[in-house]
Structure 1
Amino acid sequence: MKVILILLTALALIACSEGPESPRGFSLPEGNVEAGKAVFISYQCLSCHTLQGVADSNAEQHLPKKVPLGGDVTKIKTYGELVSSIINPSHKIAPGFKREGYIDDDGQSLMRNYNDVMTVNELVDLVAFLQPQYNLKPFNRTNYPKYFP
């Protein structure tokens, strides 16, 4: 029994090892929220997105319905998730946007690739601006009645 426990512990540790693809050690500098808002406006993000409290009358609509950013969520939007959404928008597409008008024929996001135009500083500032736009709301559990036989 003791040997099995040791083997299971060893397997668990091996499975959790960090390989070269691990995000361990990845860190970007802190961004500037005001500069991030300027990046959001200058890259015309409102052409495809909505963000409560932010408007741009010069932004043309490029999608059938704009993709909302920010607002109430039941799961925190991490720094890494926001960075990934900008530099690799096809990494994770919300189920409601996996349809015509939001993805191409290969199922990839129609979001423009900004990797060759946006500087790292602009990315960091943009994420610093976007992250506080999400409001974590606790998940409301359903209270089922107790049945007694």
Structure 2
Amino acid sequence: MKTAVILISVFLLFACDQGADSPRGFSLPEGNMEQGYNVFVKYRCQDCHRIAGEKEPENAQYLLAKPIPLGGSSGRIKTYGELVTSIINPSHKLTPRQPASFTSEDGVSLMRVVNDELTVTELIDLVAYLQPKYKVTPYRTSDYRLYQLRIPEKTVE
């Protein structure tokens, strides 16, 4: 029974990675970070986003009450695929728990969809600009001390 469960689990893991809708094999060419910054400015991303760790201009005015941060520390890598998806399909990860200031009344992202304006090269450069803004913070496990088993000493009579 245990072997069957293991085999089914392995099959399901590999099956998820196959098929026409699988992201397996997705790869972008190397982008230009400086051009990516220019794309960020051109499409006015800074109107709603701030880059973690970068100083904001004194006269920064955001369209949202609270700007959405990009970059910063995370427990896992922010992949190219996730960044591309966030740009071309900004509503893909929204949940009812998202702040109302991020979504319209029907739960759709307020982010302007730029798919008909953004070129593939611009997308690649924008992702190249954003990717290094994310830093992976290693997961810290709990520090449980090993319990020492105390064996009572035998008393000599």
**TM-score normalised to the size of structure 2?**
0.76
Partner SS state of residue 130, structure 1: helix
* Percent sequence identity over aligned pairs: 50
What is the one-letter code of the residue matched to 2:24?
R
1:90 and 2:110 are equivalent in the alignment: no
Report the alpha carbon displacement of residue 119 of structure 1 after superposing the two structures with TM. 0.8
**TM-score normalised to the size of structure 1?**
0.80
What is the match of residue 139 of structure 1? 139
What is the match of residue 30 of structure 1? 30
Partner SS state of residue 50, structure 1: strand
Structure 1 residue ranges without an equivalent (≥5):
none
Partner SS state of residue 72, structure 1: strand
What is the one-letter code of the residue matched to 2:124?
V
Which is higher, the Rg of structure 1 or of structure 2?
2
Partner SS state of residue 73, structure 2: strand
What is the one-letter code of the residue matched to 1:50?
R
What is the match of residue 77 of structure 1? 78
What is the one-letter code of the residue matched to 1:83?
V
What is the match of residue 128 of structure 1? 128
Instruction: Report the RMSD for the aligned CA atoms in angstroms.
Output: 3.1
Cα distance in 2 for partners of 1:39, 1:17 equals 32
Report the alpha carbon displacement of residue 137 of structure 1 after superposing the two structures with TM. 1.1
Partner SS state of residue 46, structure 2: helix
